[in-house]
Amino acid sequence: MTHENEWPLWEVFIRGQHGMSHRHVGSLHAADAEHAIRNARDVYTRRNEGVSIWVVEAGKITASNPSDKGPLFDPARDKVYRHPTFYDIPEEVGKM
């Protein structure tokens, strides 16, 4: 099979039974978005994992560059005060 004949790659996101947001679960090949949803249903929800599916063509995702890791993420390292661990959260607030 030549490359041009291959279906594009899609990234699959599933919202689980108890999950609050969609999570990336993997990727698959499909001819179009509808096809990707059906394939995702068969590949990733056969053990009752999900209640909602998102698919996005892998090429449409803009990702950060691994070599930019330093400038992007290092500055946050020494700013522990940004973590909410210094506060007691009242129980009535529930899940955050």
Partner 1 sequence: MTVSAAESPLFEFLLRQGDNALVLGHRTSEWCGVAPVLEEDIALANMALDLIGQTQLWLGYAGEVEGAGRTADDLAFLREVYDYRNLLMLEVPNGDFGRTQMRQFLFDAFQVPWLTRLQDSKNTRVAEIAAKCLKEALYHLDRSSHTVIALGDGTEESNRRMTDALTFLWPYSGEVFKDDATDNAMAEAGVAPLPSDLHSVWLETVERVLTEACLTLPEGAFAQSGGRTGFRHTEHLGHMLAVMQTLQRSYPGATW
Site string for partner 1, 32-71 (x = CB under 8 A): --xx--xx-xxx--x-------------------------
CB of 63 to partner 1, least distance (A): 24
Toward partner 1, which CB reaches closer, 7 or 73? 7
Residue 68 Cβ vs partner 1, minimum distance, rounded to whole Å: 34
Query: Contacts for 77-83 with beta carbons within 8 Å, 24 or more apart?
Result: none
Across 1-96, the runs of DSSP E, i.e. the strands, are 9-16, 23-29, 50-57
